[in-house]
Amino acid sequence: MSIVKINAIAVGEGKGEELEKRFAQRAGEVEDQPGFEGFELLRPVEGEDRYFVYTRWDSEESFQAWVNSPAFERGHRHAASNKSDGTVAHGSAILGFEVAIKTEGNKA
């Protein structure tokens, strides 16, 4: 069964658009990684002010291989060097889950 990793990112006031832009610029870094199953960047709209970076993997080993990969380093190095609008995130926490039940909607 899949595992889910969520990076809960505290974002500075008015910096959400810049965070989204930076993630869009990194698009493609994770999609070809072995064991990668999905990615979503979740924008807070109620009940929470942090952004959530949701990734799904086939195993903990696949996730760890990504974290230790050159692609991961490239993506995060690019984000760190992109200081056009200053610091965007000011804290994060990684949450881990196993998928216990999964359903899919109709794709018609």
CATH class of 3-98: alpha beta
Q: Tell me which residue of 7, 13, 5 sits closest to 88, measured CA to CA.
A: 13
Q: Tell me which residue of 101, 96, 68 sits closest to 6, measured CA to CA.
A: 96
Q: What is the pLDDT of residue 71?
A: 82
Query: What H or E segment, with its residue span, contains residue 75?
Result: helix 70-81
pTM of the model: 0.82
Residues of the chain under the 50 pLDDT cut = none
Q: What is the pLDDT of residue 107?
A: 78
Q: What is the pLDDT of residue 104?
A: 86
Domain ranges of the chain: 3-98
